[in-house]
Amino acid sequence: MKASVLVILLSLCFSQAWAARDIYKYQDENGNWVFSGTEPTAQENVMVDTVAEEKVEPVRIIHQADHQKAQIYGVNNYHIPVTVSIDFPKQKNVRFSEPVPAFLPLPPNSREPLFTISAKNVGPWQFQIKYQYTPGELDPNYDKDFPYIVPFGGEKAYRISQSFNGTFSHQDSYSQYAIDIPMPEGTPILAARGGVVVEVVENNQGAAIADFAQTKANIVRIAHDDGSMAVYAHLQKLSAKVRVGQKVSQGQHIASSGNTGFSTGPHLHFAVQVNESNVLTSVPFVLRTEKGVVSPESGLTLRSGV
């Protein structure tokens, strides 16, 4: 009798990369050696080392296989639900334990068995998996009228340069309903609404108007209790004041503004997003300002503390 032979072609849609982070070594006022990821104020006798940090996608599709079957699992390391869509561009002599739905929900911080693939007949069998995922509850019933506060601190006022449906860079679904607010680098960025931090990127440096820069912005993403999320982008390198999993309050200092990624100058990019049919989609929102609760428009001057 011939044995079944399994060949798995796991061309999965996630990447494993390396990020660089500066580590500062210096002596404090008591003569003790300090190792820190935050640049010290005093610059005397400071040594800087750049270390590599492994970057692994927070959501993965993995398998455990033998010659007879392969158990497929979904891994979600986010602190919020995600949905995954799976495709099989290559499959030969296989059968599935159950129909695979268009969208598979994964609970927060989970490792879930999804389905089993096995040989349909005796002989070689193989399959290839590709997938994509979107963070957040699928199609949430979010509060469309929640009044977000102005997302920056300090005493100065700043004007919105690009708002909803902006012609320069607000044409994609994830940015269509976003605002850009030019401000000096280092301006305190505040949580416009309380929630849980689900993503922090802070190792990027520099800006450009080029395709490669689209994924090089430093960001903080905060999930809200109604299933929506706020993203704060183009932040200053290593300026995050919060960490993944941390609960934050409205008005809390979360980072500093910067000029990273796809950017023409120092500014804050702010958007409210939801998981709409497994697509990260920006949605309209309103701001609480000194003129009352308004829909943000280009040219509108905003002041903190309202």
First to last CA, the chain: 77
147-303 belongs to CATH 2.70.70.10: yes
User: In the prediction, which pLDDT does 223 show?
Assistant: 97
pTM over 0.75: yes
CA triplet 167, 172, 173: central angle to 5 degrees? 130
Task: Tell me how far apart the alpha carbons of residues 19 and 92 are, in angstroms, rounded to a whole number.
Answer: 38
From first to last of its 306 residues, what are the pLDDT tens digits of the chain?
Answer: 344 444 545 443 433 333 344 444 455 666 654 545 455 555 555 554 444 444 568 899 999 988 788 999 999 999 999 999 999 999 999 999 999 999 999 999 999 999 999 999 988 889 999 999 999 999 999 999 999 999 999 888 999 988 887 676 666 777 789 999 999 999 999 999 999 999 999 988 887 766 777 677 899 999 999 999 999 999 999 999 999 999 999 999 999 999 988 777 899 999 999 999 999 999 999 999 988 999 999 899 998 865
Provide CATH 2.70.70.10 ranges for the chain.
147-303
User: In the prediction, which pLDDT does 12 show?
Assistant: 36
Q: Give the β-pairing of 261-262 and 207-208.
A: parallel
Is residue 213 within 8 A of residue 262, CB to CB? The reply is yes
